Structure 1
Amino acid sequence: MNLLLSSNFLLSILQKGGESEGSFLLSILPFVLIFVVFYFVLIRPQKKQREKHEKMVESLKPGDHVITNSGIYGTIVKIEGKKATIRVADGVKLEFLKSSVANKVNQQSEKEEE
Structure 2
Amino acid sequence: MFISSAFAQTAPAAAASGGMTSTLTSMLPLVLMFVVLYFLMIRPQMKRQKEARAMIDALAKGDEVATNGGLVGRVVGLDEQFLQVELAQGVVVQMQRGAVVQVLPKGTLK
- The interval holding the TM-score normalised by the smaller chain is 0.7 to 0.9
Q: Whose helix fraction is larger, Structure 1's or Structure 2's?
A: 1
The one-letter code of the counterpart of 1:58 is D
Per-residue CA distance 1:5-62 (angstroms, 9 max, x = gap) = xxxxxxx85x534421111111111111111111001110111111111111111011
Aligned to 1:3: none
User: What letter matches 1:91 in structure 2?
Assistant: G
SS in 2 for 1:107: coil
What 5-or-longer segments of structure 2 have no aligned partner?
1-11
Alignment of 1:48-67 (within 5 A): 48-67=47-66
Structure 1 stretches of 4+ with a deviation exceeding 3 A read 15-18
SS at match of 1:52: helix
Q: Percent identity?
A: 31
Q: Which residue of 1 aligns with 2:92?
A: 93
Q: What RMSD in Å do the two structures reach over aligned CA positions?
A: 1.9
* Contact 2:75-2:86 within 8 A present in 1 as well: yes
Question: Could you tell me how far apart the structure 2 residues matched to 1:62 and 1:72 are?
Answer: 17
For the Cα contact (< 8 Å) 2:63–2:106, is it kept in 1? no
Change (3 A) 1:18 1:70: farther
- Give the TM-score normalised by structure 1: 0.78
Name the CA distance, whole Å, in 2 between partners of 1:65 and 1:17.
69
The worse-fitting range, judged by mean Cα deviation, of 15-24 and 57-66 is 15-24
TM-score by length of 2: 0.80
Structure 1 stretches lacking a partner, 5+ long: 1-11
Which one is further off, 15-24 or 29-38? 15-24
Aligned length, in residue pairs: 99
The residue number in structure 1 matching 2:40 is: 41
